Amino acid sequence: MSEHILIQDQVGGGLLRPIECISEMVFGLFMALTFVAALAAITSGNAELRTMFVAALSCNLAWGLVDAIMYLVRTATDRGPSVAFTRAVQAASDASNGRRLVDHRLHERFLLRTASKLISATKIEAIRAATSASPHTA
């Protein structure tokens, strides 16, 4: 076991990473509390409190839009290297160059002391073939 160290830079394939999930829950709680407090203030009948409600609602809507845009930007930047890798393997002049690219990518993404014991040449070829046959790169 000490010979094999495998560290993956991105774990899981879910929509959000654990820290993002926690952040979204906390921000959602803040937004809900702001909305509830502003709603309580609007029922009092004071015009200034109604202005506060509109401001709180506008702030929550703006935050939601910013959060959505940041998610899209983060997703696009996270997928960029994978798209570039797929295109490079598909554009490789021959299978041996494609295998070399796959092998290099595995060493970049994972820390492998003894890669040859963990990933056989057959598996690297299978990865290359599947990547080359991928119908789209988005």
pLDDT in tens, 29-60: 888 887 787 777 777 777 777 787 788 888 88
Q: Which helix (H) or strand (E) holds 128?
A: helix 121-132
| pTM across the whole model | 0.50
Residue ranges of domains in the chain:
17-78, 92-138
**Residue-wise burial string across 55-80, b where 16 or more C-beta atoms lie within 10 A, e elsewhere:** ebeeebeeeeeeeeeeeeeeeeeeee
For 54-82, write each residue's pLDDT tens digit.
888 888 888 888 888 988 888 888 888 88
